[in-house]
Each structure stands twice: as C-alpha cells, then as structure tokens.
Amino acid sequence: MTTTKPLLEIRDLHIEGHYEDAWHPLIKGIDLTLQRGEVLGLIGESGAGKSTLGLSAMGYTRDGCRITGGSVHFDGIDLLNAKPEALRKLRGLRIAYVAQSAAASFNPAHRLIDQHVETAVKNGGMSRDQAMREAVELYRVLRLPNPETIGQRYPHQLSGGQLQRVMTAMAMACHPDLIIFDEPTTALDVTTQIEVLAAIRDAVATYGSAAIYISHDLAVVAQMADRIMVLRHGKLVEEAETRKMLGDPQEDYTKSLWAVRSFRTEPKASPQQEQPLLELRNSFASYGRQPVLHDVSLKLYRGQTLAVIGESGSGKSSTARLITGLLPPTYGEVLYDGQPLPADFRQRSKEQLRRIQMIYQIPDTALNPRQRIVDIIGRPLTFYLGLKGKAMRARVAELLEMIELDPATFMERQPRELSGGQKQRICIARALAADPQLIICDEVTSALDQLVAEGVLKLLNRIQQQLGVAYLFITHDVATVRAIADEVLVMQRGRVVDHGSRSQIFTPPHQDYTGLLFSSEPQMDPDWLDRLLATRACTPSTDTLEKV
Amino acid sequence: MSLLKHVWRAPLSAQFGLLMILLYVLVAVFAPVLAPFGETQVVGGGFEPWGGQFLLGTDNLGRDMFSRLVYGARNTLGIAFLTTVLAFLLGGSCGLIAAIKGGWVDQGLSRVVDILMAIPQLIFALLILSVVGTTATSLVLVIALLDATRVFRLSRAVAMNVVVQDFVEAARLRGEGLCWLVTREVLPNAAAPLIAEFGLRFCFVFLFISALSFLGLGIQPPTADWGSMVRDNAVLITFGDISPLLPALAVALITVSVNFVVDWMLHKSSGLKEC
C-alpha cells in the first residue's frame, strides 16, 4: 500500500432496502479503500450486498434503497452530500459502470458508436471526431472484430460477449479513474468469458484505471483482482491480497467457498448389455426453418447420469425438448425402454408422461407463485397416482423430508417465501412425486449460488442412490459435469462432438472442442489466465473462440 | 383482517371510492326501503320544486325524483354489472384459451375480435339494437359482446406473459387438460390486471348504457334509469333547475369512485412504491 490519498474511500457504510413493508439493512457497516490503478474484487453469494456496495461507490442506490450512515469519498469529493449535477459530471466521466447484462443495458434503437461517444462529447469536452477515433482504438484494445466499423452496428447485431466488451469500451471512453464491473462475464459462455476477461484486464492495465470487480465466481475474481474482499449478509468476512487469500484463507466461510468444487460422486459402471432406458437415434430437429439439431444420438441407462455439456446455442436444451415431446424431431426417434415414444407430448399416455419428469433452470418461474407447496407437490400425486386428502398430504410430507425440508414449516408456504435453493428442492420434490424413472435436469444449478448448488447436487446424488432414477443432466458448467456425470456428451452447434464415460472424457488427450471447453473453465489460480493465454497464443486454434 | 388493514392504509382517494361504491351497493339493494314512493308511481304534478313532500321535486310526469334516483341505482348498476360479468366470462375465457392454445385457435379468435373492433362501438350497438329491439336482455347481450372484445385483447396479452413461464410448461408436460391450465395455472397469475380491468370496464359499460338510454335505445321507460332520467328532464335546465343534472352526477360519482379504487389496486399489484 502506498501512503498517497486513496481514490475511493468508503467508511462505515450502512444501506437499507425497502421490501415487505419494512426497511431491512443490506450493508451493515463496510469500510473500503481503493488506491489509484488498483483492482479490487468483491465476492460473495447473491444477497451479500456486492452490487449495492458497488453502486454506492458512485454515490448511487437502487430504487427502494437508502443510505443511512457512513461516508463515500471519491478523490476527496463527498459523494453522499454532493449535488445531483456534480454527481452527473462524475458519473460516466470519472466513474464508470459496466452492468451484468450488456444486452439489456444498451439502447436497441441507436448505433453503438452514438451511445459510446455521448458522455464524452456532452460532458467530457471531446469533439465527436476525437471521441470516435478513441472509440476505434478502444475496440482494438478490447480485441473486437472490425474495430473501424463495429461501432456502426446496432446492439442486436453483436453477440453477448462482444456487447460486453463494447460496454467495457464505452465505460473507458472518458478514461475514468474508477470502473465498476458488476458481474460482467456471468451471463457469458466459458470460452467467451476468457476473451472478455483478458480484454478487460489489458484495458484496465493500459489506461491505469482503478476497478472494482464484482463476481460470485472466485476463480474469475482471482484472475482480475489485486485484492479481494469477501462479503456475506452485508458484512465484510475477510479481506486480503489475492494470492494470500487463495493460499491461506482465514475464515471458515471463505474456506467453504474454496471447497465447493470438491464434491464428486462415485462413478457407476456402465451396463452395456442392458437395454437403455432412453435412446435417441439420429435425430434432427429445427425451429421453423432454422435447424437446431443434427444427427443427435444418445443412450441413457437405468440409474445412471448422462451429462450433456455445451455452450449456449449448442442444442442441449433442444435435445431435452425433443425428448419431452415439446419439439418433435424432423427425423429420428425417441425410444423409451425399447419402445418408441410418440414425437408430440400430446399424443403420449399419462403413464409415458409420468415416467419422464423435468427440473428447470430457474426455480422462480418453474413454480406457480399462486399455489402452496402442498398443492405444487400434491398435484402430480393426485394426477398420476390418484392420491387425495390425507394420503396425499402424508406423501407430500415424505417427499419434503426426502429433500431435507421440514414438512411442518414448508407445507403451507408459497414459493415466494422460499430461497432459491429451497425452491429448486421443491421442483425436485415435484418431479419425484410422479415416481419417475428419468429426470431431465436442465441447468438446475446454474441460477444458484455455489454453496447452494453443491447442496442440490448432493441431494440429487442421494436420491439417485436411494431410488435408482436416471438423470439427463444438461449444463454448461464443467465442474458440475466432473462432479456427477457417469457418461458425458459434448455438444456444439447442434451436433454431438464427443462422448464417453466421465473418466474417458476427462483424461487427456481431449478432442479439440472438448479440450477448449475444459481449459476455459476458470481455475483457482491467479496465474491461470496468463498461462492459458500464453499456451493459446502458441496454437493457431484461437480463432475458434469467436464464432460470429 | 388483512383486507381491512390494506383498506386502512389505502390512500384517501381509494378509501373515498370504496365508501362510495359501498354506499351505491347498499342503496341499490335496499331501494324499496329507502325510496319514499314507488319507482313508476305518479305522485304529484309535473316538475314540482324541491323540498316539502318531494325531497328533490318531481319529474316531467310527476314521479318522485328521489325515489327514481334510488331505483335508478338498482337498475343501471345491476344491468351494468351483469353486462360486465358476461363480457368477462366470454372475453376472458376466449383470451386465456387463445393464449394457451396458440396457433389456429389464437389466429381465428383474434381475427374475429379484430372484425368486431373495427366497427365503431356505438354505431354497432345502435344498429343491432334497432334490429333486435331494445329489451333489457338484448341490451345486456349486445354490450357484453362488444366489450368482450376489449377484455379478450387484455386477457390474451396478460396470459401470453404467463404461458411462457416454466410452470405452465411443466403442467402441460404433466398432461393437464385445458380447464386446469386456464383455472389453476394461468388465471390466478393474470388476475390482478383483470380485476382492475373489470372495474374500468364496468365504468365504460355503465357510461355506454347511460348514453344509449339518453338516446332512447337503452333501458326503456317506465324503468327508472339515470340516462333516460337526464333526457326526460333535460328541459328543466333552461329554467335554471339543476334536477336533471342529479342523475348525471350520480353517474359521474360512481365512475370516479371506481376509477380511484382501480388505480389503487393497480398500483398495489404493480409493486410500485408509494411516493
């Protein structure tokens, strides 16, 4: 640490949020100091107050929040008592913000370049020509394709990763002293994430800006930050230099974040002689004229877990929709227990529907907010098995016990009274209520915090051991596949590019794409990104990273 | 209990609206008790002044104005309410089914509604009523049909946002029938805007019936109805008497009150802050 005056100084900050007709503390007395040119990582689970703290560094709070105590000083200016005009001059010009979803933050009606230069021309005293020249330079630094012309495009013409980089460029347009990155890569695929991370890091280094990097993914923060602060429930848990924090975490909570990815199931031997429970033969499918699946085949045996991994747009979810009958194939067939299943779910019998259940990515939308838990879990019981009244309630209680939720407390509640992890458990219980042989899990852990996600994976594993259900597990997360898969299927652009048992897939040598996918998974090592970029720079295959 | 708490915390305008609606309903229900004279009973000379035996004077035929106002609440409110309920049953169910089924069902229903909506409402109503005759039944049916088109549009739009959610897909994959999807999965989640629309639609229907009555094609004499009461006594205006404005005022008051309440309910369901 230097002894010069820090760029940003937050002292004993308290912020409250208004919900359910009362004010609740969100930030409970946090101190934060940021030097010029320093990159600070903020990590914690959702609801820890990371974004709230990040925004407060601009002297801003979201609607329904208020700052109740403490101070925020930016370069000697008291932001909490500054006039709105003074704040407006600072924001965009000296403090910039990069939001999680760039796609939702751009105005779709204007060209990127116009949005880019707006602040610089209006408040920064730059001429439009100068601002545009600098924009092109920034696009080049951020390694965007066709830096001279990309600004002339509209937001919808770019991919998510490119937009995120354009937004970073926009944040840097006025050479701000401080940039706040709020989960800038969370919505991106792993292979795209690397490009964005590398670009952001280069740009921050080139322009000497200080940055606050907010993420829930420790491995990502480790690549970016000089120093890390771990937050939980609006309080600081631990703060240390990145290497020190990774090498020697002090607090139990921090250690548990580190240990999350250590969960592994015992691989089950694959019974090749047996009849597969589910088989997909050479299936093709399309949305309208847009083909989404090419020649997809898979086999899933009883009591096994087949993980389907790939980036967004690789056809993972379309495969699931094909199996459930929501997307009838244009060619090919679905065999269940050796018998062909009708292509359209409306033609399937109740019994056929019962055997295949589905768990969704976002538990909030997968549960009807107007029904009680007992109704949600009880409906399949009544619908498929004819259980009613007391018998139904008893079975619901049993299922709740199985998913480790107390029946007395949860039976009468509504989904909105539950946390994300609890909701996902209810979704699991609803699937189990139908007594299925196969459960399709569509990204079931990706909307959850790491600790919670691990709990859900453990639960799924225990249920599989108890009941012998088979899982078709769709995910984009390599760590999840490594944790629970028996068999792995790698998909890219609607095709199966690699498949095999977990040990086969994870033992080198990898196929090209599989290798790329695996090596893109962030590691808990601050040098990982450097090493990876160095190795990739040697091989000419880096152009596969950007598939526009 | 919690409903009372909500009402207690409601803004003054909403409380006023609720009070007025309650008052109107009570008046409508207890009309025979409250009214000093019968609905169609001729009790004095034409256009007698206020005060004395007749609280608000008499109308052109010598019927008690106050009694007719009280009975008017019953007739006009009752018919408007019935019409709105019918419009919602028809338009709401069609809208929800169109959203859930999609495809040809949706296309077909939507185009029919487009055709109905393409013809100006008042002219369409006048046309049909002059063909089928102006009985109370045909009045209710015609206005219900016309308003159902608006309800269809709204309920379809609201339901569209619900049917794309995963829990509806989960119910479909479970093999649930249309009835369950409509009543258990979609309707409860589309209810808030539809209830608000019910209030607004009620106002429109109410005004529409009053307008038709004023034109002579609505509720027929001798039934007491606020719209026709304005017309019957309109001539008094030229003598500086405000009696004909009283039924108009009654119409205005209930319309404003319902709007206040609907505003508050929409505000609550949208989750906006109160400031």
pLDDT over threshold 50, residue A546: no
State whether A247 and A295 are in the same domain: no
Could you tell me which residues come within 8 angstroms of residue B183 by beta carbon, excluding any fewer than 6 positions away? none
Q: Identify the CATH number of the domain in which residue B152 sits.
A: 1.10.3720.10
pLDDT of res. A123: 78
Q: Which long-range contacts (CB under 8 A, 24 or more apart) does A502-510 make?
A: A502/A267, A502/A307, A503/A267, A506/A482
pLDDT over threshold 90, residue B41: no
Which sign does the torsion angle of CA A467, A471, A475, A477 carry? positive
pLDDT of res. A155: 86
pLDDT in tens, A204-250: 888 888 999 998 888 888 888 889 999 888 888 888 888 888 888 88
State whether A422 and A305 are in the same domain: yes
How many CA atoms within 13 Å lie on the side-chain side of A436?
Answer: 29
Whether the bond between B222 and the residue before it is cis, its omega within 30 degrees of 0, is yes
State whether A413 and A290 are in the same domain: yes
Q: Which residues of A415-438 are buried (b: 16+ CB within 10 A; e: fewer)?
A: beebebbbbbbbbbbbbbbbbbbb
State whether A215 and A359 are in the same domain: no
* One-character DSSP codes across A458-493: HHHHHHHHHH--EEEEEES-HHHHHHH-SEEEEEET
Q: Identify the CATH number of the domain in which residue A309 sits.
A: 3.40.50.300
State whether A89 and A238 are in the same domain: yes
Asked if residue A131 is part of any domain, the answer here is no
Asked if residue B47 is part of any domain, the answer here is no
Residue contact A353–B173, C-beta within 8 A: yes
Residues in chain A closer than 8 A to B167 (CB atoms): 365-368
Asked if residue B104 is part of any domain, the answer here is yes
**By the 8 A CB rule, do B141 and B131 touch?**
no
**By the 8 A CB rule, do A499 and A487 touch?**
yes
**Two tokens, residue A416:** 């909105």
| Eight-state DSSP code of residue A266 | P
Residue B96: pLDDT band with limits 50, 70, 90: very high
pLDDT over threshold 60, residue B273: no
pLDDT over threshold 60, residue B166: yes
Residue B265: pLDDT band with limits 50, 70, 90: confident
Distance between CA atoms of residues A103 and A303, nearest Å: 40
**By the 8 A CB rule, do A258 and A458 touch?**
no
For residue B203, give its domain range: 2-36+74-270
Query: Considering only CA atoms, which of A502, A541, A479 is closest in space to residue A261?
Result: A479
In the predicted model, what is the mean pLDDT of residues A160-173?
Answer: 84
Residues in chain B closer than 8 A to A365 (CB atoms): 165-167
Residues of A at the B interface (Cβ-Cβ below 8 Å)?
Answer: 18, 63-64, 324-326, 345, 348, 350, 353, 358, 360, 362, 365-371, 379-380, 383-384, 430, 434
**Two tokens, residue A230:** 């771990």
Distance between CA atoms of residues A106 and A532, nearest Å: 31
Of A63, A369, A380, the CB nearest to B174: A380
Best-predicted range by mean pLDDT among A63-77, A117-131, A345-359, B61-75?
Answer: A345-359
In the predicted model, what is the mean pLDDT of residues A482-508?
Answer: 88
pLDDT in tens, B8-36: 888 899 999 999 999 999 999 998 888 88
Beta-bridged to residue A359, according to DSSP, are A441
Could you tell me which residues come within 8 angstroms of residue A330 by beta carbon, excluding any fewer than 6 positions away? A284, A285, A286
Distance between CA atoms of residues B109 and B149, nearest Å: 10
Structure-model confidence comparison of residues A264 and B28, the more confident one: B28
**By the 8 A CB rule, do A512 and A545 touch?**
no
pLDDT of res. B202: 92
Of B165, B176, B185, the CB nearest to A365: B165
pLDDT over threshold 80, residue B44: no
Asked if residue A95 is part of any domain, the answer here is yes
Asked if residue A543 is part of any domain, the answer here is no
Of B166, B176, B189, the CB nearest to A366: B166
Asked if residue B165 is part of any domain, the answer here is yes
Question: Which of B105, B158, B174, B195 to mutate to test binding with chain A, by most A CBs within 10 Å of its CB?
Answer: B174
Asked if residue B16 is part of any domain, the answer here is yes
State whether A185 and A323 are in the same domain: no
Residue A3: pLDDT band with limits 50, 70, 90: low
**Two tokens, residue B115:** 């055709």
B9: distance to nearest CA of chain A, Å?
Answer: 11
Torsion-angle region of residue B64: left (phi > 0), alpha (psi -120 to 50) or beta? beta
Asked if residue A537 is part of any domain, the answer here is no
Amino acid at A231: L
How many CA atoms within 13 Å lie on the side-chain side of A340?
Answer: 10
Of A358, A362, A371, the CB nearest to B173: A358
pLDDT over threshold 80, residue A103: no
Structure-model confidence comparison of residues B40 and A463, the more confident one: A463
**By the 8 A CB rule, do A71 and A15 touch?**
no
In the predicted model, what is the mean pLDDT of residues A507-530?
Answer: 83
Distance between CA atoms of residues A168 and A138, nearest Å: 9
In the predicted model, what is the mean pLDDT of residues A515-526?
Answer: 82
Q: Which residues of A217-242 are buried (b: 16+ CB within 10 A; e: fewer)?
A: ebbbbbbbbbbbbbbbebebbbbbeb
Distance between CA atoms of residues A204 and A215, nearest Å: 17
For residue A217, give its domain range: 8-101+178-259
pLDDT of res. A543: 42
**Two tokens, residue B242:** 């405000």
Of B173, B188, B273, the CB nearest to A324: B173
Asked if residue A353 is part of any domain, the answer here is yes
What mean pLDDT is reported for chain A? 86
Asked if residue A157 is part of any domain, the answer here is no
CA-only gyration radius of chain A, Å = 25
Mapped onto helix, strand or coil, the DSSP state of residue A255 is helix
In the predicted model, what is the mean pLDDT of residues B126-143?
Answer: 88
Residues in chain B closer than 8 A to A371 (CB atoms): 184, 188
pLDDT over threshold 50, residue A1: no
State whether A219 and A362 are in the same domain: no
- ipTM comes to 0.79
**Two tokens, residue B135:** 């009985």
Residue B179: pLDDT band with limits 50, 70, 90: very high
Report the range of poorest mean pLDDT among A63-67, A405-409, A485-489, A522-526.
A522-526
Q: Parallel, antiparallel, or unpaired: how do β-strands A487-492 and A331-336 relate? A: unpaired
3-state helix, strand, coil in chain B (%, to 5): 75, 0, 25
State whether A310 and A241 are in the same domain: no
Residue A456: how many other CB atoms lie within 10 Å: 22
Distance between CA atoms of residues A505 and A511, nearest Å: 9
Residue contact A366–B184, C-beta within 8 A: no
Total number of domains in chain B:
1
In the predicted model, what is the mean pLDDT of residues A519-548?
Answer: 68
Total number of domains in chain A:
2
Specify the residue for token string 């119910």.
B171
pLDDT of res. A535: 80
Asked if residue B275 is part of any domain, the answer here is no
CA-only gyration radius of chain B, Å = 22
Residue A87: how many other CB atoms lie within 10 Å: 17
- Which residue on chain B is closest to A354 by alpha carbon? B174
Asked if residue B23 is part of any domain, the answer here is yes
State whether A451 and A325 are in the same domain: yes
Of A348, A362, A434, the CB nearest to B166: A362
State whether A246 and A338 are in the same domain: no
B185: distance to nearest CA of chain A, Å?
Answer: 7
State whether A195 and A336 are in the same domain: no
H or E, element range at A86: helix A84-90
Structure-model confidence comparison of residues A219 and A356, the more confident one: A356
Residues in chain B closer than 8 A to A358 (CB atoms): 170, 173
pLDDT of res. B272: 52
Distance between CA atoms of residues A478 and A520, nearest Å: 9
Residues in chain A closer than 8 A to B176 (CB atoms): 383
| Eight-state DSSP code of residue A239 | E
pLDDT over threshold 70, residue A125: yes
Amino acid at A281: R
Residue contact B167–A358, C-beta within 8 A: no
What mean pLDDT is reported for chain B? 87
Distances (CA, A) of B25 to A323, B37, B38, B136: 56, 19, 19, 20
Residue contact A360–B170, C-beta within 8 A: yes
A338: distance to nearest CA of chain B, Å?
Answer: 21
Residue A12: how many other CB atoms lie within 10 Å: 12
* One-character DSSP codes across B172-233: HHHT--HHHIIIIIIHHHHHHHHHHHHHHHHHHHHHHHHHHHHHTSSSPTTS--HHHHHHHT
Structure-model confidence comparison of residues A438 and A172, the more confident one: A438
Asked if residue B92 is part of any domain, the answer here is yes
Asked if residue A266 is part of any domain, the answer here is no
State whether A249 and A299 are in the same domain: no
Residue contact A353–B170, C-beta within 8 A: no
pLDDT over threshold 80, residue A85: yes
pLDDT of res. A436: 93
> Terminal CA-to-CA distance of chain B, rounded, Å?
25
pLDDT of res. B5: 82
pLDDT of res. A359: 93
Residue A547: pLDDT band with limits 50, 70, 90: very low
